[in-house]
Amino acid sequence: MSKARISFSIVLAVITSLGVAGATALAQNHGGHRHDDANEGKESRVQPKCPVMDEPVDFFVKTMTADGPVYFCCKDCIKKFEANAKKYEKQVAEQRQALAKLPKVQVTCPVSGKPVDDKVFIEKDGKKTYFCCQGCIGKYEKEPGKYAAQLADSFSYQTTCPVMGEEIDPTAYIKLKTGQTVFFCCPGCDKKFLKDPAKYAPKLEAQGIRIDPKKVEIAAGPAEKDTHDKKESQGGHEHGHDHDGHGH
């Protein structure tokens, strides 16, 4: 082999090595403190199936059980499931196996149901559980089994903002009159979303979150009301830009 060819091979190997190292560093530096990275990076994910109809679920359509939520494709399926839950035990188990493979973000405290504070958590076996306040940690640690179902229901499978594509902030959200909650990466994104929900609906649907753009009306929010105090105390998740320009 010529010296030139050997030199080229060495350079190529170094470049490849640096590329892999850079990708690893980026993955390790991801700021998703509440983020489960299963299947991270897939724009379109395979959604779990409804235990009744075997259709992709809508994460807004669910019922609670002692073991956590069960998701369905439509409300009619909830009635069929609740009439004979035992009939669908296998399908529910399969759904939960599929859910375990999806990325998710913990958005609510398993004790109070309020948005979590990313500075308030406990860690066990390398996994963090977040709470809204220190008081809830004490209650949880006394009776963790009591809150098992609520903990399973404290995650959102909507992990990215439909406007910016960044990881959601559990305190930046709007509640719709339909009962649905849509999360964003920061307070300003809710305005863009509300101006043109049809534009951003596909980004939500890709995450198993289905909305009817014609029925998008705020029941609670906008997101600034929930995030103002937290931004003051944490130094903010401010992007330092006009959201109309999206200067990320």
Q: What is the pLDDT of residues 123-132, one digit of tens each?
A: 999 999 999 9
pLDDT greater at residue 135 or residue 2: 135
Write out the two tokens for 44. 């379109």
Say if residue 189's pLDDT is above 50: yes
Residue 116: CB atoms within 10 A of its CB come to: 24
Count helices and strands (H / E) in the chain: 8, 10
Q: Give the predicted TM-score (pTM) of the model.
A: 0.70
Residue 45: its pLDDT value, please? Answer: 72
Q: From residue 207, how far is each of 115, 167, 183, 202, 224 by CA, in Å?
A: 20, 13, 12, 9, 24
Mean pLDDT of 208-231: 68
